[in-house]
């Protein structure tokens, strides 16, 4: 009996050992899944304005590098959304970024004609899109028509053109009052790219000129990518207008317009808003740009100069302050905003970024004072989605080009030079 009992015990032990030996090895605990914040950067990465897109991409990369592409326990991942300077293609690319690439938020934009329809996509999918460069007043109109729906277009970088164009008018009228310019007649012609931006800019400036007694004798708009301006310039020459004013959104077209204006010996003072948006503008225009007026922020601070030098060394291209410089500021602003959102909500998502943007960014509580171009970027309920415009906030000086350098002609307290009239007009 005892022997049988011992045999049973031994058999049980052997069976137990066999079971343990045959059991599958336990798998190691899996590492926690990495958290990712997908940021869709909208820009013209191909097409007639691809040079701007290149500066966008390089500046965002440099800004995200400063935080090692990390916020809290989230990795930043960019999805480059190529608008190709075309509204239909831009909308399609943005929707693909939402549905296929699963972006959590959007960042920046260039063309107003692209931004306006993309606002619909951002609203439809509740994607907070931060700091678009598109300036058109149509964005303000859409927002005001339905603030709840369009609040996902979260803070424009560039304000309504009318808030900036008035600087040109003041500069011109000051020059007339001071006896620096005595136009035979106060007649002006407006021109621009046939886009939301081009037409809004011309409308704002034209209205402000008319308020000061100028007569607008012509308005001419051209497709993005147009480079033959001889017929237009000859027409303006025959009209003998002392002032032509406008803006274009593609470097090839804009620089061609300025070069050809000298070739036809146009005897007009030229406002060319945005000529200096790309770094190599002077290589493309040469001395034809002398005396041209523009509104461009300058590389004035030590931080701005250091960024410019670092950018050139890293990418081997010369940055434009209004494209690369502003893009760098706004990308850093976004990084600071995302960090603050994470600190407050403990997560980064479309919902938390939207909530923080609505409550703190548009509420005026959260601002950015670490930029390289402006003293402070700030929004308030009264200005949103535009930033505050004025000295100490978002402001562009009126500059006049000489030998490839922009000299500040307005405001007076910042002046490098008094506004000068080309000798061929005197």
pLDDT at 213: 97
Tell me the pTM.
0.81
Q: Would you say 212 and 169 are in contact if contact means Cβ atoms under 8 Å apart?
A: yes
Distances (CA, A) of 111 to 43, 98, 137, 253, 329: 8, 20, 13, 15, 19
Could you tell me the CATH number of the domain that includes residue 264? Answer: 3.40.50.2300
pLDDT at 191: 97
Report d(CA 193, CA 248) in Å as an integer. Answer: 5
Q: Does 269 share its domain with 418?
A: yes
Is 13 inside any structural domain? no
Is 376 inside any structural domain? no
Is 311 inside any structural domain? yes
* Structural domains counted in the chain: 2
pLDDT at 217: 97
Q: Does 96 share its domain with 148?
A: yes
Report d(CA 138, CA 413) in Å as an integer. Answer: 33
pLDDT at 21: 43
Q: Is 200 exposed, middle or buried (0-12, 13-18, 19+ CB in 10 A)?
A: buried
Order of strands across the sheet that contains 129-132 = 70-71, 74-82, 35-43, 105-107, 129-132, 153-156
Answer left, alpha or beta for residue 364, where phi above 0 means left and psi between -120 and 50 means alpha: left
pLDDT at 425: 85
Q: What is the pLDDT of residues 114-171, one digit of tens each?
A: 999 999 999 999 999 999 999 988 999 999 999 999 999 999 999 998 899 999 999 9
In this prediction, the residues of the chain whose per-residue pLDDT falls under 70 are 1-32, 426
Q: Does 210 share its domain with 294?
A: yes
pLDDT at 7: 44
pLDDT at 426: 62
Cβ neighbours of residue 288 under 8 Å, at least 6 residues apart? Answer: 258, 259, 261, 262, 263
Domain of residue 175, residue span: 162-300+396-425
Report d(CA 292, CA 273) in Å as an integer. Answer: 9
Report d(CA 407, CA 54) in Å as an integer. Answer: 26
pLDDT at 32: 57
Q: Does 173 share its domain with 141?
A: no
Q: Does 192 share its domain with 313?
A: no
Is 15 inside any structural domain? no
């Amino acid at each position: 009996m005892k022997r049988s009992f011992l045999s049973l015990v031994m058999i049980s032990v052997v069976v137990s050992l066999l079971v343990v030996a045959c059991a599958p090895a336990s798998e190691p605990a899996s590492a926690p899944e990495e958290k990712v914040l997908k940021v869709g950067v909208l820009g013209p990465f191909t097409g007639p304005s691809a040079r701007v897109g290149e500066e966008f991409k390089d500046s965002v990369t440099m800004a995200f590098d400063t935080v090692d592409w990390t916020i809290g326990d989230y990795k930043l991942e960019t999805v480059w959304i190529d608008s190709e300077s075309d509204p239909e293609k831009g909308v399609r690319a943005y929707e693909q970024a939402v549905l296929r690439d699963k972006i959590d938020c959007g960042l920046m934009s260039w063309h107003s004609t692209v931004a306006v329809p993309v606002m619909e996509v951002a609203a439809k999918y509740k994607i907070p899109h931060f700091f678009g460069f598109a300036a058109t007043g149509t964005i303000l109109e859409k927002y005001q028509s339905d603030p709840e729906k369009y609040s996902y277009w979260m803070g424009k970088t560039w304000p309504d053109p009318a808030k900036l164009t008035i600087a040109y008018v003041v500069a011109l009228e000051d020059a007339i009052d001071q006896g620096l310019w005595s136009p035979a007649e106060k007649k002006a012609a407006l021109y621009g790219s046939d886009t939301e931006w081009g037409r809004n800019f011309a409308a704002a400036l034209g209205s402000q000129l008319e308020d000061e007694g100028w007569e607008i004798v012509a308005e001419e708009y051209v497709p993005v990518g147009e480079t033959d301006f001889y017929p237009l310039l000859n027409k303006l020459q025959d009209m003998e207008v002392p002032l032509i004013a406008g803006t274009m959104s593609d470097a090839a077209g804009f620089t061609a317009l300025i070069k050809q204006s000298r070739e036809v010996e146009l005897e007009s003072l030229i406002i060319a808003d945005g000529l200096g948006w790309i770094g190599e503008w002077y290589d493309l225009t040469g001395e034809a740009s002398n005396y041209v007026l523009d509104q461009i922020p300058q590389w004035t601070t030590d931080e701005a100069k250091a960024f410019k030098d670092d950018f050139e060394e890293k990418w081997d291209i010369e940055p434009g302050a209004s494209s690369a410089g502003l893009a760098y500021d706004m990308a850093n602003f976004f990084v600071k905003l995302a960090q603050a959102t994470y600190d407050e909500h403990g997560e980064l998502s479309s919902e938390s970024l939207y909530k923080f943007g609505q409550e703190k960014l548009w509420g005026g509580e959260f601002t950015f004072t670490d930029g390289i171009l402006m003293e402070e970027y700030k929004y308030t309920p009264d200005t949103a989605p535009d930033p505050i415009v004025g000295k100490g906030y978002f402001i562009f000086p009126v500059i006049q080009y000489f030998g490839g350098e922009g000299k500040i002609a307005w405001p007076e307290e910042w002046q490098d030079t008094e506004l000068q009239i080309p000798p061929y007009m005197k």
